[in-house]
Homo-oligomer: A and B are copies of this chain.
Amino acid sequence: MKKYIDDFVVVENRRLNHEYVILTLQLDRELPEILPGQFAEVKVENGPDTFLRRPISIHDADYDKMQIKLMVQEIGEGTRIMGGLQKGDSLNLVYPLGSSFSEPDTDDVLLVGGGCGVAPLLYLGRRLKQKGITPKFLLGAGNRNGLVAIEEYEKVGEVNVTTEDGSAGTKGYVIHHPLMKTDKPAYGHVYTCGPEPMMKVVARFAQKHNIKCEVSLENKMACGIGACLCCVTDTQDGRVCTCTDGPVFDSTYLKWQI
């Protein structure tokens, strides 16, 4: 897929809570095709201590409006600068990068997300819905305030939640939710993105039940386009780049101890 470098303009910065924002970014021409699961390398301007770009998933894309959305969790200087962007600011993106979630062979799919890993699942869900598949979401957070932008997911599919403190949905981690405790899962394809331990339990569950499971990995990236070989992960084929062969991998392809 052809990659682009473009300056987007921030048309909205919607703050979800003390650490999450959703940026709506406007392009001045038609968006190129973007697949669910792909990401952008975002240039952070005016950061005294940032140097490289920061990889951020495509949270949503609207071809009619020529807009994309990024959901950003502020954890360091780079993401905090993104979180502080205001309407009218410009943001330079290299995109769309990496592999994408595949199309399912089944109509029953489960999308499991945690933390900023929920970001790519909205766009994935929307694309599935366009194909006539109504996805089930299972979203986990520490507490109810951590469940961000849930109404957007509800527009797309059925939303199930877990919180560690029980302040919303099932108490515990995603693995404690009935959807993951059943012996007869009512879905044939699981997509997951979030903290690695979470993805590992999801992958283990899927493997046990012979369900196809795709995971989206994080990694430290310098270039995002396969040029530097910094972002490797161990797979059946040896070390491959997360930025080009991933970030989305079939869980069985990874050399995970699960």
Contact = CB atoms under 8 A, between A and B. Distances in A.
A50 B49 CA distance: 11
A106 interface: no
Interface of A: 45-48, 50
Contacts of A45: 48
A45 B50 CA distance: 14
Nearest to A45: B48
6 closest cross-chain pairs (CB), A and B: A48-B48, A46-B48, A46-B46, A47-B48, A45-B48, A48-B50
A48 B48 CA distance: 4
6 contacts: A45-B48, A46-B46, A46-B48, A47-B48, A48-B48, A48-B50
Is chain A's binding surface mostly helix, strand, loop or mixed? loop
Contacts of A50: 48
Contacts of A46: 46, 48
Nearest to A50: B48
Contacts of A48: 45-48, 50
Contacts of A47: 48
**Residue among A45, A47, A48, A50 with the highest chain B CB neighbour number at 10 A:** A48
A45 B48 CA distance: 8
Nearest to A44: B48
A257 to B, nearest CB: 41
A174 to B, nearest CB: 39
A45 B45 CA distance: 14
A102 B48 CA distance: 40
**Residue among A45, A46, A47 with the highest chain B CB neighbour number at 10 A:** A46
A47 B49 CA distance: 9
Nearest to A81: B46
A45 B47 CA distance: 10
A229 B45 CA distance: 34
A50 B46 CA distance: 11
A46 B44 CA distance: 12
